[in-house]
């Protein structure tokens, strides 16, 4: 080290700086579970059994229109329809769930739903009603590994299978193709 020139005071020594004392982290307050909300669902039938979709996943219900066949790697994709200028893939929900049906009848409907890949139509036998299902009326499903089946709703003596539209459409490759 060099010495300061004559007549100048020596430079003050640097003080050692200490990091501020760490305060103990507070444990996050335990989250109080929020009470599940009632579910509004559109009830429909397939092969004599009742199913439902949350109303937030349903865009609309339309009369059955025979889909135009297209090649698909998925056997339950029936084809496409023109819905007000939009080409809409149509899926046979009964076939997707492994159910047999007779064919299109007067009451057959297409439920237009929104999924991750866009919108699609689901063919169902008929649409019956919109219900509000209280949380205590819902039971977890332990007998299936199908992600499309989310719960069983107990509506009096009726058992209604609650479905998830995006999970039901998974694997159908409905995502729009990138422009070429």
Per-residue pLDDT tens for 55-111? 999 999 999 999 999 998 999 999 999 999 999 999 999 999 988 776 667 789 999
Is there a contact between 81 and 119 (Cβ–Cβ < 8 Å)?
Answer: no
Question: How far is C-alpha 109 from the geometric centre of its chain's CA atoms?
Answer: 21
What is the distance between the alpha carbons of residues 111 and 18, in angstroms, rounded to a whole number?
A: 67
| pTM score, whole prediction | 0.74
DSSP H or E stretch at residue 39 = strand 39-46
Tell me: pLDDT of 150 over 70. yes
Residue 177: band (very low, low, confident or very high) from pLDDT cuts 50, 70, 90:
very low
The CATH label, of 3.40.109.10, 2.40.50.140, 3.40.50.20, 2.40.50.180, for the domain at 39-169 is 2.40.50.180
Residue 180: band (very low, low, confident or very high) from pLDDT cuts 50, 70, 90:
very low
User: Nearest CA to 101 among 46, 168, 45?
Assistant: 46
119 vs 101: which has the higher pLDDT: 119
Across the chain, mean pLDDT equals: 83
Pairing of β 58-63 and β 109-115: antiparallel
Would you state the structure tokens that stand for residue 49, as one six-digit string? 């059994």
């Amino acid at each position: 080290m060099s010495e300061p020139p004559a007549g100048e005071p020596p430079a003050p020594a640097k003080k050692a700086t200490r990091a501020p004392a760490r305060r103990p982290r507070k444990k996050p307050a335990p989250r109080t579970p929020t009470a599940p909300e009632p579910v509004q669902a559109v009830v429909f039938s397939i092969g004599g059994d009742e199913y439902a979709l949350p109303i937030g996943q349903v865009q609309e219900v339309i009369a059955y229109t025979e889909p135009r066949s297209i090649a698909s790697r998925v056997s339950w994709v029936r084809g496409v329809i023109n819905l007000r200028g939009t080409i809409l893939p149509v899926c046979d929900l009964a076939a997707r769930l492994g159910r047999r049906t007779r064919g299109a009848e007067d009451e057959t409907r297409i439920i237009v739903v929104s999924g991750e890949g866009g919108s699609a139509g689901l063919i169902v036998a008929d649409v019956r009603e919109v219900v509000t299902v209280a949380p205590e009326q819902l039971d977890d499903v332990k007998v299936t590994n199908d992600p499309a089946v989310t719960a069983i709703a107990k509506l009096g003596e009726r058992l209604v299978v609650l479905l998830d539209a995006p999970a039901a459409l998974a694997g159908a490759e409905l995502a729009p193709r990138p422009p070429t």
